Amino acid sequence: MTIDQSSLNEIKITPLLDTLRLENISDDEYFSQKFSNYISNSRLGLLKTKGAKAFFEGLKSQDYNPSFFFGSLLHQQVLQPEAYEIVDGVYTPTAKARLMALELYNSDGTTPTDDEIKIASYKIGYYKDKLTANRITELREKCNGFWRDRCLYEHKNPWKEGDKERIFIDEKTHGLLKCCLESLQKNSAIQKLLHPEGLVEPPYTANEQTILLDVKVEVPEHEPKVFKLKSKVDNFTIDKENNSIIVNDLKTTSRLAKEFNPDFFSYQRELGMYSFMLKLCGEKFFDLNNPKIAGNFLVVSTVPEFDTLVYPMTKKLYKQGFEEFKYLLKVVAYLNIVKDYEF
């Protein structure tokens, strides 16, 4: 759909600061129905890459993506190690068979029936109507070792209230994760950003925090409307001593780290949106006065030698990212208010 740029230029967006919230919200809640009408960077990405229909339908469950799966594991272990534990020595099958193994696991040691496997196949998207008797047999062969080993492990190590959430993964992914974590740990520049120190007063630093904000959108000749924004920020530091904010985003790449290019996935829009919302948080909750903003991508390669680097956001990238964020948000407003697209 073509939209005249002059129509977008007339749209005014105003943050409603009394709605601004900085909270620790779990991933399950963040992606739940409760926040489904909020606009995130990922959802704006749908608008850019797949169009209006995809945006207004919203983010839906995706097919298994090994890159997303591994990225989530890495985030948990780097940014939330106090909450998640990768279980060593109890390995799942790979890909969607892993999801089936987890879905069908019974803590009492019993194995699932064929009917239970068929029901799970629809939920997981594992062959669905193509789940033949041979494929059920093959799945059992893939899962039996995990079901047995997990049952024995949990019998010896019963979970207690307050324990970390246990994550079970396949052996190959376990080895890859270990290599990436070791490489990140050895990079002193990355560790300094994740664990900063102040001269006198320790800076405030946080991982996986959610920012919620309503914005008022005004389109000429239409009633003003409120849109809800949400962001989940990997890592940020509020430094009162220097009146500054540093926002860091952890990224994996299947190429060499030195070949990382934020333009490829419009990552600069992500940090542009995060920085805009974090600046408002810094002023409202930490008494900063027009703080300086700096952003970095903390990059680790998932191929040998698992190299790492800090890729800083430049002024050019910040300008590109923030302008694209504003542009897409105005497109959403135009489509919703003028063209009657419904969330």
Q: What tokens were used for 134?
A: 């041979």
Nearest to 9 by CA among 262, 341, 235, 323: 323
Beta carbons within 8 Å of 236's beta carbon, 6+ residues apart: 205, 206, 209, 245, 246, 247, 248, 274, 278
C-beta separation of 170 from 93 below 8 A: yes
Rounded to whole angstroms, the Cα distance separating 37 from 254 reads 33
C-beta separation of 297 from 184 below 8 A: no
**What letter does residue 331 receive in the DSSP assignment?**
H
Rounded to whole angstroms, the Cα distance separating 76 from 85 reads 9
Q: What tokens were used for 63?
A: 């097919």
- Main-chain phi, psi angles of 35, to 5 degrees: -115, 20
Domain 5-61+188-338 classified CATH 2.120.10?
no
Q: Is 133 exposed, middle or buried (0-12, 13-18, 19+ CB in 10 A)?
A: exposed
Rounded to whole angstroms, the Cα distance separating 291 from 305 reads 38
Q: Beta strands of 100-202 (E only): which ranges?
A: 165-167
Regions in the chain scoring below 70 on pLDDT? 1-2, 60-63
pLDDT of residue 62: 55
Dmax (CA) of the chain: 68
* Inter-CA distances, 218 with 25, 128, 175, 248, 271, Å: 30, 47, 52, 32, 25
Beta carbons within 8 Å of 224's beta carbon, 6+ residues apart: 216, 217, 218
Rounded to whole angstroms, the Cα distance separating 56 from 30 reads 18
**Residue boundaries of the structural domains of the chain:** 5-61+188-338, 67-181
**What letter does residue 39 receive in the DSSP assignment?**
B
Rounded to whole angstroms, the Cα distance separating 272 from 198 reads 25
Q: What is the DSSP string of 44-95?
A: HHHHHHH-HHHHHH---PPPP-HHHHHHHHHHHHHH-TTTEEEPTT----SH
pLDDT of residue 66: 81
C-beta separation of 321 from 327 below 8 A: no
pTM exceeding 0.85:
yes
The H or E element containing residue 296 is: strand 292-301
